[in-house]
Chains A and B, each alone.
Chain A
Amino acid sequence: MLSRKTSSMSTMPDRGSASIEFIVASVALLVPLVALTVTTSQIASATFAATAAARHGVRAFTRAESTNIGLERVHAITTLVADDHGLTDTSSRWELDCSRGNCLRRGSLVELTVHLDVPLRFIPALPGIDIAPRVTVSRSATARVSITSVNR
């Protein structure tokens, strides 16, 4: 009796469309994966930009003739690097940490930390909150002011 039922079920044809099931399942599973990939690439791009901005910015600052000129150079470099990496809607800020009171004193260690706020386009904002989800990427670089500088 049992073997007869099993035999009759195995002869029943499969119903449904394999191609439609494949497409539906692929879209449902791959769309989040693509969103994750795009978001990750945005964060990676911002991290590369922050690394480059910190590295070149601190070098330009330590070779500046004055603090104001150095700050202008840091701002210009940060903006340029962000534009080069396609981060047009990214806000940036930076911090300078000096080992001595005067940042440009000979032999002073200067640490530049660049922060880039990356908006996450594929992550929806929470209901009732107007602030879009963002991720802050921070990178630091340290340089020493040349002891042979003649402009200080």
Chain B
Amino acid sequence: MVAGLVALCGVAVVGIIDSTDLALARTSLQSTADMAALVGAESFDPLTAQFDGTSLAVRLVNRQVWRAVSAFVSESSDGIHLVTASTPDSVTARVTVRSTWSPPLVSQFFPVRIQLEATGSARPNIGARSDEG
């Protein structure tokens, strides 16, 4: 009975460690997606900026967003792959990244591999000091 209790507790500890690592991997992936979205939001061509009397308006292009975000992800993150990087409305950059997670403990007994995805969005905000770029 004691051995069974200890075995049960051990399985619980292993499960908690693995789930904690999964949460950390998810947080890191979301952080990368957010940072990449900020990079995508600044991929506009400055020469195309137009002043409408009150603010400076820029337009994002899918090809430029992809190019800038792809370079950022490849340089900054190991094991993270870019899935999509586009601008659905020409003012918002939307980035989706993916990584593969496997449990740090007992992975040799349970070779589980989980695909994680995270999406981040950002808009250019020229001259303003906020986290939206």
Partner of B9, one of A22, A30, A144, A148: A30
B133 cross-chain contacts in A, Cβ below 8 A: 146, 148
Partner of B2, one of A22, A40, A48: A22
Query: Which stretch (B70-78, B88-96, B112-120) binds chain A?
Result: B70-78
Q: A142-B76, A142-B77, A148-B124 are in contact. Are A59 and B6 (CB under 8 A)?
A: no
C-alpha spacing A109/B6, complex, angstroms: 48
C-alpha spacing A29/B1, complex, angstroms: 12
Q: A29-B2, A142-B76, A144-B35 are in contact. Are A48 and B13 (CB under 8 A)?
A: no
C-alpha spacing A70/B81, complex, angstroms: 30
Interface residues of A in 24-58 (CB under 8 A from B): 25-26, 29-30, 33, 36-37, 40, 44, 47-48, 51, 55
Interface flags for B25-62 (1: CB within 8 Å of A; 0: not) read 00110011001001100100000000000000000000
Q: A44-B17, A141-B35, A144-B39 are in contact. Are A51 and B28 (CB under 8 A)?
A: yes
C-alpha spacing A144/B10, complex, angstroms: 43
A26 cross-chain contacts in B, Cβ below 8 A: 2, 5
Kindly count the residue-residue contacts between A and B in the assembled complex, taking CB atoms under 8 Å apart. 68
C-alpha spacing A36/B17, complex, angstroms: 11
Number of interface residues of B (CB under 8 A): 30
Q: B17 to A40, Cβ gap below 8 A? A: yes
Q: A33 to B20, Cβ gap below 8 A? A: no
Q: B42 to A36, Cβ gap below 8 A? A: no
B1 cross-chain contacts in A, Cβ below 8 A: 22
B59 shortest CB reach to chain A, Å: 15
Q: For the complex, is A147 an interface residue (Cβ under 8 Å from B)?
A: yes
Q: For the complex, is A87 an interface residue (Cβ under 8 Å from B)?
A: no
Q: For the complex, is B16 an interface residue (Cβ under 8 Å from A)?
A: yes
C-alpha spacing A34/B18, complex, angstroms: 17
Which residues of B come within 8 Å of A, CB atoms?
A: 1-3, 5-6, 9-10, 13, 16-17, 20, 24, 27-28, 31-32, 35, 38-39, 42, 72, 75-77, 124, 126-127, 129, 131, 133
What are some 26 contacts across the A-B interface (CB < 8 A)?
A26-B2, A30-B5, A30-B9, A33-B6, A33-B9, A33-B13, A36-B13, A37-B16, A40-B13, A40-B16, A44-B17, A48-B27, A51-B27, A99-B75, A109-B72, A109-B75, A141-B31, A142-B35, A142-B72, A143-B38, A144-B42, A144-B72, A146-B42, A147-B42, A148-B124, A150-B127
